[in-house]
Amino acid sequence: MKLDGKVAVVTGASRGIGKAIAETFAREGADVVVNYVKSEGEAKEVVKQIKAMGRRAVAVKADVSKRADAQRMFNKVLAEFGRVDILVNNAGIGTGGTTLDTTEEDWDRVIAVNLKGPFNCTQIAAKTMVEQKSGKIINISSISGLGGAPVGELAYCCAKAALIAMTTVAAQDLGPYGINVNSVAPGWTRTDMTSRATKEKTEELQKLKAGMAAMRCIGEPQDIANATLFLASNEASFVTGQVLVADGGRRDFLSHA
Ligand code: NAP
């Protein structure tokens, strides 16, 4: 197994991509901290699945955008597991809004969760990883941060672009301590985030996005979990500061590759 004996913290692991990452890591031998903010029942179900695989797991409620919450989560992780080997900054939210109509409130919230959240968790986890002289940090960004900009998602695209910048800077800052920092940039993936519209509109969007990809399909959470697993494993020990795009080969902006 690729993550035997490792302790992983996955933010936003109650649903969607984070859930798939948490369960994939557990299948590969990791003990997992399942972070959530609202969906307690779903988070506990993920913990149950992981425990059924014979791994240790705990659900921790924390709003990653709040420093005190993030600190409390890592205090709990250290008390329970004694170390942190892998951090996946996955928790994220999406809102609509163009350059003309994004509200200040939406801007602040998206930047807080999607950018300050990873900053909070990275800085706190890195203190332990520096002492351990090892660690893997993976930021779940998006092709939206690379120029695959969906119209009307200003704050989201800006947060994801900045998260990619954070990945490259943090890789330089933390590399001397044996810590790898990378990012996975998913394309359109089937989760609650991409199913907010009506059933008809969601299906229409899925068809449209599938048609834009070389593989002629949208992503499943497991596709993103597989890419994340590689970056979390020792197989990626010489890989840092990189963005691994998992989008089925979007034909509308292959220049990112
Ligand atoms: P999702 O299904 O909506 O799940 C979001 C997860 O984030 C949930 O577990 C949620 O917890 C958690 N979360 C939200 N706000 C939080 C906060 N303040 N503190 C802690 N946890 C919080 O979303 P998803 O599609 O799986 O997205 C996961 C990541 O992938 C996000 O960063 C997203 O931007 C990125 N991404 C997604 C796609 C896509 O097409 N789906 C594409 C590119 C990038 P609760 O359940 O408790 O609310």
Catalytic center residues = 156
Question: Using CA positions, which residue lies closest to atom 21 of ligand 1?
Answer: 12
> Buried (b) or exposed (e) across 161-185, using 16+ Cβ within 10 A?
bbbbebbbebbeebeeeebbbbbbb
Q: What is the pLDDT of residues 67-103, one digit of tens each?
A: 999 999 999 999 999 999 999 999 999 998 999 999 9
Ligand 1 atom nearest to CA at 13: 9
Residue 73 beta carbon below 6 angstroms from any ligand 1 atom: no
Question: Using CA positions, which residue lies closest to atom 6 of ligand 1?
Answer: 12
Q: What is the pLDDT of residues 119-176, one digit of tens each?
A: 999 999 999 999 999 999 999 999 999 987 667 899 999 999 999 999 999 999 999 9
Residue 156 beta carbon below 6 angstroms from any ligand 1 atom: no
Domains of the chain (ranges; CATH) run 7-246 (3.40.50.720)
Ligand 1 atom nearest to CA at 114: 32
Question: Using CA positions, which residue lies closest to atom 48 of ligand 1?
Answer: 38
Reported as a pLDDT band with limits 50, 70 and 90, residue 257 is very low
Mean pLDDT for the stretch of residues 176-205: 96
Residue 236: is its pLDDT beyond 60? yes
Mean pLDDT for the stretch of residues 186-211: 95
